[in-house]
């Protein structure tokens, strides 16, 4: 996209901008207490300390994998961004308890579609960190990944912009 088209579009390409899938506090991925995420082993991104109990799609795309346990979902945006949204840390061990999936692997989704409901308070009461890492699994495909961190976000707020 050229300089003038960026200028007149407000500077961001909507196809390469992800919105928040949940209400909460956006923080740097380095603040996640699991090295798989904080050391960007799976890719770059950010995390959200949730204040709500539903995860929504951050883009238009397809569900590549809805985990049976409901603790995580992989999406591929219509523009090719590979996104992992992981609800809490080590929550796979809950075996689906406190999670309800609303979509399935292979489903086409629109930005803002509800994907997973989770019982944040119950998960925390069982001793789990409820932070939600949002990881770009094909980070190497982008020259720049700019997360919004250190602020409260609402579902639908821009949180990540990517450039090829």
Residue 42 phi, psi (nearest 5): -90, -15
Q: Per residue in 105-127, is it b (16+ CB within 10 Å) or e — as a string?
A: eeeebebeeebbbbbbeebeeee
Q: Does 86 qualify as catalytic in the annotation? A: yes
Q: Of 71, 86, 98, 155, which residue is the catalytic one?
A: 86
- Distance between terminal CA atoms of the chain? 10
Structure tokens at 24: 């909460």
Q: Name the residues annotated as catalytic.
A: 86
């Amino acid at each position: 996209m050229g300089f003038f088209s960026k200028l007149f579009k407000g500077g961001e390409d909507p196809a390469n901008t992800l919105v928040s899938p949940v209400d909460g506090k956006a923080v740097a991925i380095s603040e996640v207490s699991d090295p798989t995420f904080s050391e960007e082993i799976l890719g770059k991104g950010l995390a959200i300390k949730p204040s709500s109990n539903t995860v929504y799609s951050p883009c238009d795309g397809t569900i590549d994998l809805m985990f049976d346990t409901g603790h995580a979902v992989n999406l591929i945006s219509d523009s090719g961004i590979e996104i992992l949204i992981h609800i809490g840390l080590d929550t796979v061990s809950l075996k689906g308890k406190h999670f309800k999936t609303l979509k399935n692997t292979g489903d086409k989704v629109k930005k803002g579609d509800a994907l997973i409901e989770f019982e944040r308070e119950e998960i925390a009461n069982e001793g789990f960190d409820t932070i939600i890492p949002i990881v770009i699994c094909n980070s190497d495909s982008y020259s720049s990944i700019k997360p919004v961190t250190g602020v409260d976000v609402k579902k639908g707020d821009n949180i990540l912009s990517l450039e090829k």
